[in-house]
Amino acid sequence: MTRSGAWLPAATGVSVAAGLAGALLAPADQLQGELVRLMYVHVPAAWLAFLAFAITFGASAAWLWRRHRGADRVAAASAEVGVFFTGLAIALGSIWGKPTWGVWWTWEPRLVTTALMFFSYLGYLALRRATLDPVTRARRCAVFGVVAFAQVPIVHMSVLWWRTLHQPPTVLQPGDPSIDHSMLAALLLNLAAFTLVFAVLLGERIRLAAAEDAADAAADAAGRALAGDAVSAPKLAGSGV
């Protein structure tokens, strides 16, 4: 990595360290106690899942409009990172839910809709693996990426639309956020820090995808060996052939 491109990972490391320090210094919750500190990673993970799938939606729509290969790379890379953060949010939620609700998992609307979103985007990644032709793959996945994004607002609004164990929004709500301001400051710091983590992961995955495309193009230009290239026609005696 060049010096000009090293500032983002460095800034990300400093931000994550500051965010985690803020999470440790923030006061414990009156009811949840120290368990509330999981929130400082769980909430950013959920936010970044939404952001990642929004980018996949936008890049997929851009591909359908312009048919630009770079848009397909962005859509795929963002979906991969989004699946990671969705899985992290589900795992941390389960760790929080066991001592709070008494179970690792319960079939309530927020958890169910989040799980459906997680498996839908796993299906998106599986579709990319299963389709060999790059144009066909980009077209199918672009349509998938646009349609699948409908789940994001459903997941976000699930705690308001249905009766649920999951707490309602405490930050993205009308009026003053219903959270202690010192805890809110630590949460926003971690949101910013993990957004930088997302930016680093997304950028590296896009660069890797571009390198893979370049390698495939170079192999095609050089001419790939065919299955029958090593077989020559037999020579018949006396035919001179």
Lowest mean pLDDT among 4-13, 104-113, 122-131, 180-189: 4-13
Q: What is the pLDDT of residue 146?
A: 97
Residues 34-79 have pLDDT tens digits of 888 888 999 999 999 999 999 999 999 999 999 999 999 999 999 9
- For the chain, percent of residues with pLDDT exceeding 70: 83
From the number of C-beta atoms within 10 Å of its C-beta (0-12, 13-18, 19+), residue 225 rates as exposed
- Does residue 201 have a pLDDT over 90? yes
What SS3 state is found at 29? strand
How far, rounded to the nearest angstrom, does the alpha carbon of residue 41 sit from its chain's CA centroid? 15
Q: Which of 97, 100, 95, 63 is nearest to 79 (CA)?
A: 63
CA distance 198 to 202: 6
Q: Which two tokens stand for residue 14?
A: 């400093």
Residue 159 in contact with residue 167, Cβ under 8 Å?
A: yes
State the virtual CA torsion across 203, 209, 214, 220 in degrees, nearest 10.
-170
* Cα 197 → chain centroid: 11
Q: Report the pLDDT value the prediction gives residue 234, as an integer from 0 to 100.
A: 62
> Has residue 202 got a pLDDT over 90?
yes
Residue 171 tokens read as 């930050």
CA atoms within 13 A on the CB side of 142: 23
Name the pLDDT band for 1 (thresholds 50, 70, 90): very low
Between these two residues, 114 and 214, which has the higher pLDDT value?
A: 114
pLDDT higher at 96 or 239: 96
Query: Which residues have C-beta within 8 Å of that of residue 79, sequence separation ≥ 6?
Result: 52, 53, 56, 121, 124, 125, 145
Distance CA 130, CA 115 (A): 22
Going by the DSSP 8-state scheme, the letter that residue 181 receives in this structure is H
Residue-level pLDDT at 167: 66
Domain boundary assignment for the chain: 45-167+195-213
- b vs e for 77-108, b when ≥16 Cβ sit within 10 Å of the residue's Cβ? bbbbbbbbbbebbbebbeebbeeeeeeeeeeb
The model's pTM is: 0.83
* Amino acid at residue number 182: S
Band of pLDDT at residue 239, cut at 50, 70 and 90: low
Confidence of residue 97 (pLDDT cuts 50, 70, 90): confident
Grade residue 5 by pLDDT with cuts at 50, 70 and 90. Answer: low
Contacts of 21 (CB under 8 A, 6+ apart): none
Q: Kindly report, residue by residue over 143-181, the tens digit of the pLDDT.
A: 999 999 999 999 988 888 877 767 666 655 545 555 667
Average pLDDT score, the chain: 85
